[in-house]
Amino acid sequence: MALRLGLVVFLVLALASCAQAGVPTSQPDITGTITHTATGSILVEERPSDTAGSAKASIRFTTATAFWRAVSVSAQPATAAELREGQHVMAWFDGPAAMSYPLQATAKAILILER
């Protein structure tokens, strides 16, 4: 867990230089694994093996959502079509989130991480 958190912090800091290209520099609202995909949305779970207690978010995306793929220490533009179950992602929300379980929100940006 500490290693994963360290990797997340490193990637956020490393990608901060890409902010002018659209990758947010703030902490992501959720970091986790895509456990379900549907047209226009994904389910991201911090710890998929947990049935309750860990962060889970049902995330909608729109034409305004920015998609990125982490490549080494830079980010390349990506598309919603690249999202797959099992991928590790960071997501930043746009506007308020419905405080249900799982959380429900619209994505401002989604960064697909290398595994």
Q: Are 33 and 18 in contact (CB under 8 A)?
A: no
Give the whole-angstrom CA distance, residue 17 versus residue 15: 5
Q: What is the pLDDT of residue 52?
A: 85
pLDDT > 70: percent of the chain: 82
Q: State the pLDDT at residue 61.
A: 97
Q: What's the average model confidence in pLDDT over 32-36?
A: 98
Q: What b-and-e string marks burial along 71-84, b requiring 16 or more CB atoms within 10 Å of the CB?
A: eeeebeebebeebe
Structure token digits, residue 32: 């986790």
Instruction: Please tell me the predicted confidence (pLDDT) of residue 82.
Output: 97
Q: How confident is the model at residue 14 (pLDDT cuts 50, 70, 90)?
A: very low
Kindly report, residue by residue over 46-92, the tens digit of the pLDDT: 999 998 889 999 999 999 999 999 998 889 999 999 999 999 999 99
Q: How many separate domains does the chain show? A: 1
Q: Which domain holds residue 71?
A: 2-112
DSSP 49: T
What is the mean pLDDT of the segment spanning 84-112? 96
Kindly tell me the sign of the dihedral angle through the C-alpha atoms of 87, 88, 92, 96.
Answer: positive
Two structure tokens written together for 16: 């901060």
Q: What is the CATH number of the domain that holds 104?
A: 2.40.50.140
pLDDT at residue number 114: 84
